[in-house]
Structure formats: structure tokens, C-alpha cells
With several copies, the nearest count.
Chain A
Amino acid sequence: MTKKKTSNSEEYLRMYTQMARIRAFEDQANKLYLSAKMPGLTHMYSGQEAVAVGICEALKKTDHITSTHRGHGHCVAKGAEFKQMFCELLGKEEGYCRGKGGSMHIADQANGNLGANAIVGGSAGIATGAALSAKNLGKDDVTVCFFGDGALGQGLLYEVMNMASLWSLPVIYACENNLYGEYTKVEEMAAGELTGRAKAFGIEAFELDGQDVLAVNNLSQKLVARARNGEGPFFIQLNTYRYHGHHVGDINREYYRPKDEEKYWKEERDPIINFGIWLAKENIATTAELQTLRDQVNQDAADAVAYALDASYPLAEEVDMHVFI
């Protein structure tokens, strides 16, 4: 952990809570899948919580984010509620997208989340466009584009980084390097240095421990402020790890990823555990208080799941609504 500033204890606890909420959400989502109650597949964000929370806690509600197929964490971190999220995952009418989007398209317009995206790298243009829009309309909103290391393979990203740089747009490209894209290692997919991909376009680029929520938040605060000030764009590479398989169904994964590696990240690098230890050490919260907090969050998630399971599906009439406005 990089920063000690107990005057911020409320913020710290909020970050801890948000990380815990993401973890709780994903644990429930995974259970839903394992108990065959979830339609389709979904991608767990567990392990990467410090990235979404560290960044989103540096944003205002009106700032925008774009998200990915692994998008629950971003959604929670940007302010979404469990109930509407679970309803969406289960295809229910009360879901954020009335059940029409599902996990891979969950969006939360009211909190500035422009949506998950099932096309890898597909939201790079959208994020950059939101930044251009803000600039053009005279708003000081900043947009964060979340994407995985795998999305570095998509040419679209380079096209829009070039324009963001040419036009000094208030956008931050947040590359979550969790070491894999599906079942392939990042080094087999990406030549050269990842941050070099942004520097080539004259974009200031940073590499960071994505498990350290304070470090992520500190840098984000600075870059968001600078972006608001017209000094953008920026690029951050956040080194992190996904605990689960590529999706909930990816159970036997030793052929591409050693168990030891998973063990190391889960036991030594867990962003929630480590931040908890630090909070206790700094006397911001006791271990027991943190436990209570996590219990509460877990209960909230379980309640929301129960609610969503009972909620109703959209009516058949909805099927051809919302094609056009």
C-alpha cells in the first residue's frame, strides 16, 4: 500500500465496501450458474476489484465509463444496485436493461455506465466519443474506457487513441492486464511493451499494481483531474488477475494456467484481504468491523438474488419494443 492518510477513513471504508460488494456479487453470480439458475454464461471479475473501485472512486457520477464482457465489477463500482443487476443477469424485467441485455450488455445510464460490451475492444470508440461529446458540449466530464489485455489486439483501439491524442480528449484508457485473454497468455498475444502501445500516439502511459486500491485511486485522482483540465488522454496498465476461469464454465483450466499461480494471487495478492490488513493496521477499522461489513454485503447480495429469482420476466409484447426509439 502506498498511502497513509487516516483523515480519509470514510473514503477508504467505502473503497473496501465497494470491493467487497463486487466480490459478493460475483460469488452469488457464480452460484447461480453452478445451480443452473443463470441463463447463459458470465465472466467473473473477482480478483480485479481494486481496479474498478480504485478508478471509479475517482470519478463523479456524471463521468462516464465503458465496460467489457467482464463488466459486473465496473458496474457495481460506478454505483449500480444489486437488485437491478441480478434481475438483468437473470433476464428479468426489473433489470437495468429490462432483461434484454444480460450480463454482457449491462448498462447503467443513470450512473454514467455506458455499458458492458461483448465485442472485445468494442467500446474503445464509444468511450472516446463520450469524451469528445463532453468536450464539445462544454462539460468537464471524463470518460474511462475499461478493457482487457486481450483488447490490445483490436485495431480500433489504436485508431481512437490516435484521435484522442490529436484532439486532447478527456479519456483514460484503463487496460486491465490479468495475464490472459480467454485461454491464451498475454505474451503470446502482445508483442512489445503494453504501455508502448499508447506512448506511440504521444499518450502518457503508466503501469501500476492493479491489486493496490490506494495506488490505483491515487493515480486515478491525479489523471482524472488532469483530464478534466484538458490534459488528457491517458493510458494506465493495471496488472491484475482473474480468480475464476475465463467464464463460469471454464473449470478445468490447468492446461493453460497453473494452480500455483492462482494460489499465489489469491493468497498473497488479494486486493480485499490486503487492504483489510492495512485498514486494521492503520486503525481505520478492526478486523471484526470489516467482517461485519462483509457479512452485511454478502447478505445484501443474497437478498438481491432471492428477489431477482422471484421477479418476473418481461412480457412477450416487449420483444419488438426498443428496436427504435
Chain B
Amino acid sequence: MRSITLSQAVNEAIAEEMRRDETIFLLGEDVAEAGTPFKILSGLVEEFGTSRIIDTPISEPGFTGIAVGAAMTGSRPIVDLMFGDFLFLVMDQLCNQAAKTHYMSGGKLNVPMVLRTNLGATRRSAAQHSQSLHALVAHIPGVKVVLPSSAYEAKGLLKTAIRDNNPVVIFEDKLMYQDKSEVPEEEYLIPFGQANIVRQGTDITLVGTSSMVQVAEKAADILAKQGISAEVIDPRTIVPLDEDTILSSVRKTSRAIVIDEGHQSYGVTAEIASRISEGAFYHLDAPVQRMGAMDVPIPFSPALEDLTVPTPERVAIRAMALVKGELTYAI
């Protein structure tokens, strides 16, 4: 099968959906001729024209609000938010407006919009261009939250997102834009709320999201060499969350580590770990471990930045300790 980059996968997903449905348009900064600073959208404006691939001023709250209104009135907008860190600017439009409209209107209005943005540190972009803010959105009822972990996942999940009739926020991993994976030529969709068992294992469950799926896989490689069999699970969407697949795995392995690139405290790892502790309590041999980004603003200095996010080595060390029964109390 052919391999394409995550960036190409996103581009294809959008192009295919836009061909299928004329009510879809995309807007954001430098999305047209420039094809975004990451060059993800190159070629789209040539095919779809400037009324469907719309360059906006640097007005994130404004164009997100415009997307909400367009979505309420028959269009299906895709918002391109250049950096996930800019979510803070659009929270009101996303969380007070888009997320609540369907409910507040008693089901009469709905907001079929997709907000595409990204997450991920270690690009030396410092504290305002490196955040992984998906936990914030996941906390607000009414928005679905999607975390693709490869080109294949990105394409299938984005197509599903575009067809969803609710507000969906999809976080791409910035560091993965040039990573290739096998992606079929034929159309496929990946349903929401269905976790992917990336690798089967028996000794420990590693739940990784987005960028952390690769980290978990690499950790599993390290562990395999130590004779430890790790099961790796990618939830794909954290709202909705496929609790069943995660719980089945942990009931089998009795141990779990949840790995996510958002800050650890009050973040995604806490929710998933809690659900595991609730649903697999009597199967657990040791407390569920959480590994998120450090609770610090992301530092610029490479010497510091790399310390802030989970790495395969650190995950493997934690997993080994867990399997050996060394983590009886807290870490």
C-alpha cells in the first residue's frame, strides 16, 4: 500500500469531503495560496477557489464565531487554527456558543463544524506555541475531541469529523506532519468512540493519545526486550471515550499507564486513569500510573524542553517498576 504523510492525509481528507459536499468550506489564516505555514493545505485553493478556502485576518475569535454562525445555517465549515495554543482565544465561541447551541435550543439548532488544530512540544517553539490543550475542550459537554496518531488515523478520523453534525475539535500532532504511514487509496472512515488496540499484550496496558501512541509503542519495544508484553491502546477520540476497550485490556493485564502530552494535573490522564480505577478496580495489581507533560509552561531551551514530555525510555522505566511491583504507593 502507498504511504503518505499525515499532512497529505489531512489534505486528502479535506479535498475528498469538499468534492462530496458543496456546503463544506474552510477558513483560517494563510490557508489559501500559502496552504498554511505547515503547507498542509497546498493545492486546495486551486481546486476549490477562494470562496471555499478562505484566508482570514488574524482574528481567531472572529472567524471561529463566523464558523459557528455558518454551521447553524446550512454550511459545514472547517476552521483552521494555526496553533493549538490559540484555542485560548476562541474558547468563548467554541465552548459558550458552538458547544451549547444544540442543547440550549432543545435540539433545534446544530453546529456541524470542525476545528482543526494541533498539539505537541519539543519543536523549540516555547510556551505559547507548544501546548497540548485538548483536556480543556474535553471538559466541555457538546464538543467531540479527536486525537489522530498517524496519517492513516488522521485521514479516517477527519473525514468522520467533517460528516459529524456536532462541533468537533481535532488535534494533529505538529511533529507528525511529515511522518508517513500506509493509507489506502480507497475511501474509509474511522468511527468515533472506538479505541484502536495498536498492539496486543498481556502484562501491562499502555494507553497513549496522539503523539504518545508512538511513545507507547516504542516503550513496548523496549519492554519486549525485557520480556514484558505491553498492550498499547489508542483511544482515538477522548470525547466520546471508548471505556470498554480500555477496561477489557486492563482487566486482562492488571496494570496500566496512561500517557498524554497535555499537562498532567487536571488533564486527560486523570480522567482515563479514574475510569480505569473505577471500572477495573479489583483487577488492578498496582495504582494506574499517569504520565503527562510536566506542570510547567513549556520552556524554550532544548535542554529543558525535552524533560517536560514523556519519552519511550521514561515510560518503559515506569512500566518495569510497575510490573515488578515496585510502585506500591505513590511515585
Contacts and interface: CB of A to CB of B under 8 A. Distances in A.
A318 interface: yes
Nearest to B32: A184
Interface stretch (B48-56, B224-232, B253-261, B310-318): B48-56
B23 A126 contact: no
B97 A119 contact: yes
A151 to B, nearest CB: 7
14 contacts: A99-B299, A104-B126, A107-B105, A114-B109, A119-B92, A119-B128, A122-B97, A153-B56, A156-B65, A182-B34, A318-B304, A320-B294, A323-B102, A325-B110
Nearest to B64: A125
Interface in A149-195: 150-156, 159-160, 162-163, 166-167, 181-184, 188-190
Interface stretch (A45-53, A90-98, A212-220, A230-238): A90-98
Interface of B: 23, 25, 29-30, 33-34, 37, 51-52, 54-59, 61-75, 77, 85-86, 89, 92-93, 96-97, 101-110, 123-129, 141-142, 144, 165-166, 294-297, 299-304, 307-308
Contacts of B105: 96-97, 100-101, 105, 107, 109, 115, 322
Q: What DSSP secondary structure best describes chain B's contact surface?
A: loop
Contacts of B33: 183, 255-256
A64 B296 contact: no
A126 B65 contact: yes
Interface size grouping (class) on chain A: 35 or more
Given A129-B66, A163-B62, A153 B57 contact: yes
Contact of A133 (B30, B74, B92): B74
A314 B304 CA distance: 7
A308 B135 CA distance: 38
B129 to A, nearest CB: 6
Given A100-B105, A101-B105, A133-B74, 6 more contacts: A126-B97, A128-B62, A130-B73, A137-B75, A182-B29, A313-B301
Contacts of A115: 101, 104-105, 109
4 A-B pairs with least C-beta separation: A125-B65, A129-B69, A159-B62, A102-B300
B303 A99 contact: yes
A251 interface: no
Contact of B106 (A100, A123, A188): A100
Nearest to B108: A109
Interface in A241-278: 246, 255-256
A110 B301 CA distance: 22
Contacts of B71: 129, 133
Contacts of A95: 106
Contacts of A117: 97, 128
Contacts of B144: 324
Given A163-B66, A181-B58, A321 B108 contact: no
B62 A101 contact: no
